[in-house]
Amino acid sequence: MDGEACTFVAHNILYNIACRSKKQPQKPSNDKNTTLGGHGMSHITLGALILAGGQNRRMGGSPKALLPNGSGALILDGLRAAFAGFDEKLLSTNTPELAAGTGFAPVPDARPGMGPLAGLAAALSACQSDGLVVAACDMPCFDRAAAEFLASFADQGWPAWALRDRAGRLHPLCGVYTKQCLPAIQAALAAGEHRVGRLFQSVGGQAISLEGTSLPDAVVCNVNTPEELKELLQS
């Protein structure tokens, strides 16, 4: 094995150790009955949603969900593990076979070509839960600790909340959206608006900072190109 290959393997090993050895993140001080499964907290139930409906143009047409996550599995496998404890699990995709054998129910976009906001609208319309913990299929490091941390805010009464990294950037596709958001989402799509960040602001979504938690910023990192994926897996 040459020096460059050894360096790549070493980086991957360090990355895997960092992703797998995180301490349990701190929960909010008023956290009450955080549970997996139905996530019944203050009469709010939360399901899980993986957004995988993109066209993957910048990935050369390869589905992001089927790319390696750096730990010997696919990104989709990692996200499935992150949401393993949820009762209701949905996969937003226009390729139903992607959900085969995953335990996730496929939900096609009601408005193809309108991006993840359309996928979110379809999933909120289809789900039995009061809201959905959402992760996009381009987040290789999103894990169960991040999913549980997001779910732990379900008793706050917010219509939506999402993680903000330590640099202050909001990641609206790493958050929770309740059915309260559905009318606003449908109105936005009807008006041709498909920006999730804009919708998040319009419904009064709350940003949850990773500052002060043990969750690394990597849990919200998304990749759009093969180069970005390689850089993340080597970091």
Domains and CATH numbers, the chain: 3-234 (3.90.550.10)
CA angle 105, 106, 108 (to 5 degrees): 145
pTM exceeds cut of 0.85: no
**211 Cβ neighbours under 8 A, 6+ residues apart:** 166
Residues of the chain with pLDDT under 70: 1-43, 54-63, 66, 68-72, 224-235
| Three-state secondary structure string covering 42-73 | CCECEEEEEECCCCCHHHCCCCHHHCECCCCC
Q: What is the CA radius of gyration of the chain?
A: 17
Whole-number Å distance between alpha carbons of 159 and 139: 23
- Model confidence over 88-131: pLDDT tens digits? 999 999 888 888 888 999 999 878 888 899 999 999 999 999 99
Whole-number pLDDT of residue 113: 81
Backbone dihedral angles phi then psi of residue 34, each to the nearest 5 degrees: -65, 120
